Structure 1
């Protein structure tokens, strides 16, 4: 299972457990991946207009995850798994929008 460390650090103290089994990714990555999936399913069924406002909004959605992760990395504070998960959900939506916007604009330019 070392190959999973390529997508997440998997630290036990930063991961969720169900019935004694650790999730394959940490709490923040769990939020990111869940929101990726939800957003990609949503965009499959509904049209999204990727304008400048939406892209700016998606960048703003990434800020809480960056602040939480950076402040924890620098030792300024200790986060908890629920906050990590929530910032992962918000950041996952932002990153999902950015990825789909890049795909959208690449397909338009081709």
Structure 2
């Protein structure tokens, strides 16, 4: 393996360490190399990206939250898995961690986008303004993203789960990069870029309020 590749893996692992315990027996191994984060976090951060891919299916004229029933149905498996594991009722597996993480991330990311109008700066950034609803009405029954779109996301999750398990067994190192690059990109987006955006928005709001 080239030294540059080894260095990049070190960087990926460092970024992963910011959000994950990186316990090896809970981490998927591709081509003899462990992914930057554990199976559950791999599912969550890839799930975020899958959830964003559902945005073209949103109802641009609606103001209600994404379908709450389907959202809860996709979020609860991870919560149940973590709760029963912590309580000692059962021992989870990487398969369950991965698929529950995928469902969780896919359901959560559209909800985060839906809530962005609460952040004042959102409407001033064209690419964000084009994605978010005109306003947030949590009591509206017309969902900004309906159940069918979220169920489609669930289907994508199952497909990605199968693909990930297949490439894990293939032992081909190229698949490490195919998974690690989007994983690390998702981590950077959610723990660096998004928080910076929120802080900038808060500072802008307070500046206008006080001055």
RMSD of aligned C-alpha atoms? Answer: 2.3
TM-score by length of 2: 0.45
Report what 1:97 is aligned to: 110
Structure 2 unmatched runs, 5+: 1-12, 120-133, 137-211
How far did residue 108 of structure 1 move? 2.4
Q: Distance in 2 between matches of 1:97 and 1:36?
A: 8
**Is 2:66 the partner of 1:33?**
no
Match runs of 1:11-26 below 5 Å:
11-26=23-38
- 1:3–1:35: structure 2 CA closer, same or farther, 3 Å change rule? closer
Structure 1 unmatched runs, 5+: none
- 1:56–1:105: structure 2 CA closer, same or farther, 3 Å change rule? farther
Report what 2:135 is aligned to: 108
Q: Structure 1 segments of 4 or more deviating over 6 A?
A: none
Report what 1:64 is aligned to: 77
Q: Distance in 1 between matches of 2:116 and 2:99?
A: 26
Report what 2:18 is aligned to: 6
How far did residue 103 of structure 1 move? 1.4
**Is 2:93 the partner of 1:80?**
yes
Residues 10-31 of structure 1 deviation map (CA, whole Å, 9 limit, x = unaligned): 1111110012200101111111
Larger Rg: 2
How far did residue 2 of structure 1 move? 4.5
- 1:71–1:9: structure 2 CA closer, same or farther, 3 Å change rule? same
Tell me: higher relative CO, structure 1 or 2? Use CA pairs within 8 A at least 6 residues apart. Answer: 1
Q: Distance in 2 between matches of 1:12 and 1:32?
A: 17
